[in-house]
Amino acid sequence: MDIIPRTMTLELYNTLSRKIEALDLDLSSPVRMYHCGPTVYWVQHIGNMRAVFVVDVLVRTLHLLGLETKLVRNITDVGHLTGDNLGDADTGADRMENASLREKTSPEEIAKKYIDIYLNHVNKLGSLPPEHFPKATDHIPQMIEMVETLIQNGFAYITPKAVYFDTSKVADYTKLSRQKLEDLQNGTGHGNVSDGDKKNSTDFSLWFFKTGTHQNALQTWVSPFASPLVPEGRGFPGWHIECSAMSKYYLGDTLDIHIGGIEHVPIHHTNEIAQSESANNKTFAKHWLHYEHLLVDDSKMSKSEGTSYTVDDLEERGFSGVSLRYFFLQAHYRSKQNFTWDSLSASQTALKKLYSAFIKLPTGGTTSKEYSELFVKALTNDLGTPAALALTWELLKDSSVSGADKRATLLYFDSVLGLSLDQQTSRDIPDSIKHLAEKRIVAKSEKDWELADKLRSEIESLGFTLSDTKDGYDLR
């Protein structure tokens, strides 16, 4: 299966440069990647699953090229405030505290509950686990150490309510977002500034003291940052410092690839760069990869409107996590993708047809060099999953490739597509399913197309694939 040279170049769009670039990698060490992971106060919706999918395709593509990877996906279990919804992560209540009050249990129990659900859903999507999956609350010392360094280097200051990063000390603060700093300083993109001692409206919190709106904070730690109101410095970290501290701890001062949603560009990732480069005096990340949003019925997902769907919601309607993965493969990660139940149904039908075709192929073949090169070319061109997926169907239709070679090549493809082809085997068909198929043959002979369609839908809803043949039908 190892037919692609290790030196083949992967090109990705870099948000920092606004162009597609070849990755600058040290081939003697693993590719160091950091992915902004979930805040575990609620069940993650399928938009969050698309994020996991994109990272998984990237990791699998690097593996296909013969490269080792070291992926860190963090868990935020403290410090992510509700004001982030308004474009200002320093305002509002802590999301974990809100969940704790909602469910009348501790933040630690909330975190455990929703981490377990998240991991279960990610597994159903067929995604590989990261090398490290650290919780913010397990890395408070690393955060405190980085904040101390920023204070000592003159990039941070203390007020009675918090420790802030001084954005005026960074000449290229908006180099990732390319926003005008004067617009931000005038309040664009920010919520209410609750601390009158902040020097600049763009300054962001590194550490919140247990005072004021955070007087009753449930998760706090003693720190060396003395406040007139909180002499022992007790408080909790800001959201942004968590990622900078944890990425440094596991991956060093400079990352190869930093990954996250497009919504993080103007604030969260901009602040990560500022504090990391000010603390470490090194380039924080060589390459920035951002994925677009998943829409539902052409609108933003909404809990209040009941469209913030989860993997559990899909399963209740008879759809598998792998069917969702097939759906994701059909859109480029830098494009918005629109979810509808009809589009997911079409994806599940296509996946079943792929399984049915794969099962019929004989073993013993070798990987097609021509198709494998086309497949790798599609993926190395900014993770072109739509083109890569289309090649599976082109291959199946190509009469010049033997069935055995098709099977071997499809398995090669699936090392990145992740559709679990290797788990598909022939199975016994229950008599009840065969009976439905026979009834459909009768319905067709009587031109009762409505009944025929209804019977096909019933068969497929029970997890079987029905294909018409010149001799009648094929059941899988």
Length of the chain equals 476
Query: Tokens in use for 37?
Result: 């992971």
CATH number (domain holding residue 408): 1.20.120
Please write the tens of the pLDDT for every residue from 294-336.
Answer: 999 999 988 888 889 999 999 999 999 999 999 999 999 999 9
Residue 191 has pLDDT above 80, yes or no: no
**Where does the pLDDT of residue 289 fall: very low under 50, low under 70, confident under 90, or very high at 90 and above?**
very high
Domain assignment present for residue 340? The answer is: yes
Q: How far is CA 42 from CA 81, 99, 395, in A?
A: 14, 8, 42
Q: How far apart are CA 199 and CA 88, in angstroms?
A: 16
pLDDT digit string, tens, across residues 160-180: 999 999 999 999 999 999 988
Whole-number pLDDT of residue 44: 96
Whether residue 5 is contained in a domain is answered as: no
When divided into structural domains, the chain yields a total of: 3
268 with 362, same domain?
A: no
pLDDT greater than 90 at residue 26 = no
- Amino acid type, 136: A
pLDDT confidence tier of residue 462, bands split at 50, 70 and 90: confident
| Residue 2 located in a structural domain | no
- Per-residue confidence at 193, pLDDT binned at 50, 70, 90? very low
Question: Looking at 291, 325, 343, which one is the last position of a domain?
Answer: 291
The whole-angstrom separation of Cα 321 and Cα 323 is 5
Q: Which residues lie closer than 8 Å to 1 by C-beta, 6 or more apart? A: 367, 411, 412, 415
Q: How many CB atoms lie within 10 A of CB 106?
A: 13
Q: Per-residue pLDDT for 271 more than 90? A: yes
Examine residue 460 and state whether it is found in any structural domain, yes or no. Answer: yes
Asked whether residue 367 falls in the same domain as residue 272, the answer is: no
**pLDDT the model gives residue 188:** 39
SS3 state at 136: helix
**Shared-domain flag, residues 118 and 54:** yes
Parallel/antiparallel/unpaired status of strands 69-73 and 156-158: unpaired
Please check whether residue 406 lies inside any domain of the structure. yes
Which residue from 264, 332, 348 is spatially nearest to 294, judged by alpha carbons?
332
How many angstroms separate the CA atoms of 215 and 237, rounded?
14
SS3 content of the chain, % helix, strand, coil (to 5): 45, 15, 40
Closest CA to 382 of 336, 333, 419, 418: 333
Q: In angstroms, rounded to a whole number, what is the distance separating the alpha carbons of residues 220 and 205? A: 15
Residues 94 and 207 in one domain: yes
Residue 7 — very low, low, confident or very high, per pLDDT cuts 50/70/90? low
Q: Are residues 20 and 34 in the same domain?
A: yes
pLDDT at res. 424: 83
Q: Which of 8, 127, 1, 77 is nearest to 376 (CA)?
A: 8
* Reported confidence tier of residue 3, pLDDT bands at 50, 70, 90: low
* One-letter amino acid for residue 80 of the chain: H
Within a domain: residue 4?
no
Of 180, 186, 189, 167, nearest to 272 by C-alpha is 167
Q: Over the stretch 61-119, which tens digit does the pLDDT of each residue have?
A: 999 999 999 999 999 999 999 988 777 888 889 999 999 999 999 999 999 999 999 99
Sequential DSSP letters for 69-89: EEEEE-BB-S--BGGGGGT-T
Instruction: Please provide the distance, in angstroms rounded to a whole number, between the alpha carbons at the two ends of the chain.
Output: 28
Mean per-residue pLDDT for 184-201? 64
In the listed set 381, 399, 423, which residue is the last one of a domain according to the structure?
423
Segment 416-441, tens digit of pLDDT:
999 999 988 766 678 888 888 889 98
pLDDT at 472: 74
Say whether both 179 and 51 belong to one domain: yes
Last residue of a domain, one of 264, 291, 318: 291
State the pLDDT at residue 427. 60
Based on the fold, state whether residues 210 and 229 are members of the same structural domain.
Answer: yes
Range of the domain at 387: 295-423
Residues 84, 25 share a domain: yes
The verdict on 216 and 334 lying in the same domain is no
Query: pLDDT of 126-138, one tens digit each?
Result: 999 999 999 999 9
Q: Are residues 378 and 442 in the same domain?
A: no
Confidence band for 192, pLDDT divided at 50, 70 and 90: very low
Same domain (yes/no): 343, 380: yes
Q: What is the mean pLDDT of the chain?
A: 92
Does any domain span residue 63? yes
Given a cut of 60, whether residue 142 has pLDDT beyond it is yes
Which CATH number does the domain housing residue 97 bear? 3.40.50.620
pLDDT for the residue 86: 73
Instruction: Kindly state whether residue 149 falls inside one of the protein's structural domains.
Output: yes
Instruction: Answer yes or no: is pLDDT of 399 > 70.
Output: yes
Mean pLDDT to the nearest integer, 217-221: 96
3-class secondary-structure state, position 158:
strand
User: Is residue 190 over pLDDT 50?
Assistant: no
Count CA atoms within 13 Å of residue 281 on its CB side: 3
235 and 318 inside one domain: no
What's residue 303's pLDDT?
82
The pLDDT, as a whole number, for residue 28 is 85
The Cα 211–Cα 227 span in angstroms is: 10
